Amino acid sequence: MTTREPNHSTGFEGRAAWQLLASARTVLIATHANPDADAVASILALRLALAEVVSNLICLTGDGLVPSSLSFLPAADLLIREPATVHETPDCIALLDCADPSRLGPFFHLHSNWFDGQIPMVNIDHHITNTRFGHVDLIDPNAASTTEILAQWFLTVGVTITPDIATCLLTGLYGDTLSFQTTSTSVRALELAALLLRLGARHEEIVNNLFRRKPVSTIRLWGAALSRIRVEPPLIWTEITRDMLRETGARPLEGEGIVNFLSGAEGTVVSLLFYEQPEGWRVSLRSADSLVDVAQLCQRYGGGGHPRAAGCRLPPGEAARRVFLNDLRAIVTELLATRPHSR
Ligand SMILES: [Mn+2]
């Protein structure tokens, strides 16, 4: 990758997207259900950027949830926590960090007619599986986070990056790169991080909230999940059942980091975390090897994501999970066998 690879946000599409949003009276800024740091930080950064130019901004996550670790973000108190209370039809929609509108979850189902193409949509995302559903799409699969695209876009269209906006943008980068550890950590991402620090991003606040602060219930949940790991090389997996959540008092979001912690365990290549839900399993996968693209594997099951981090859903019960694990083990073993021998 070159250091200054252009993306859509810096070209004609970037200016068109800004025009579309800035000329609207009511803008809905939304991100996916079960939001991560990049998702929440993205919608808040855009909200702050548009605050001066758009009179009515509706800003929410698709399920109204915001992890408590992100409540430190500037303007987090302006997020709408009850999406069902939103009835006013926007005249423009910005969807951030969403591969497709259905990723909004509950909010998509409440207002699916808003996403049928009649209301102009600005689609800003870095998922390779993005379906390019917007009237304007600012998509860059090489971006480490959606906030990386936002930052380049803001610089191009002349948005002043205040310390608050810089803090949001750096939070997305920190979150999606897991502190600059993922393969998406490019020269461009690191240069952007430096620029954001120069612009006043509050580094210590981000690190304390994202990586140190945690409820005690999280530690209990991790303890329970880690005590159940199963190693079936090249897979390592564990689960979070509804019983475990009840016993530890934790919410499902609190298990998010476990699959990353498992990734890279000796003798394994793919780590998985199964979340038990009433409608079946939600599965989160990580690949520790460039030969194994878990986004591609998840697409076979109607899911998607990034090459090294992806997810999908399975029907309830042990049998469905067993079939999935056996299939996956066979495919991953086959993929690994394609590696040319070095000597
Ligand atoms: Mn993201």
Structural domain containing residue 285: 216-337
CA of 5 to the centre of ligand 1 (A): 19
How many angstroms separate the CA atoms of 113 and 93, rounded? 12
Encode pLDDT of 244-295 as tens digits: 999 999 998 889 899 999 999 999 999 999 999 999 999 999 999 999 999 9
As a whole number of Å, the end-to-end CA separation of the chain is: 28
Query: Within this chain, do residues 171 and 312 fall inside the same structural domain, yes or no?
Result: no
CA of 333 to the centre of ligand 1 (A): 29
CA of 39 to the centre of ligand 1 (A): 6
Query: Within this chain, do residues 195 and 100 fall inside the same structural domain, yes or no?
Result: yes
How many domains, in total, are found in the chain? 2
Q: What is the structure's pLDDT at 231?
A: 98
Burial status of residue 118 (CB atoms within 10 A of its CB: 0-12, 13-18, 19 or more): exposed
pTM above 0.85, yes or no: no
Query: Within this chain, do residues 151 and 258 fall inside the same structural domain, yes or no?
Result: no
Query: Within this chain, do residues 68 and 86 fall inside the same structural domain, yes or no?
Result: yes
Evaluate whether residue 16 is within a structural domain. yes
CA of 216 to the centre of ligand 1 (A): 26
Query: Within this chain, do residues 91 and 21 fall inside the same structural domain, yes or no?
Result: yes
Q: What is the structure's pLDDT at 4?
A: 42
CA Rg value for the chain: 20
CA of 249 to the centre of ligand 1 (A): 27
Does position 338 have pLDDT exceeding 90, yes or no?
Answer: yes
How many angstroms separate the CA atoms of 329 and 331, rounded? 6
Kindly state the average pLDDT of the residues 36-41: 97
CA of 176 to the centre of ligand 1 (A): 6
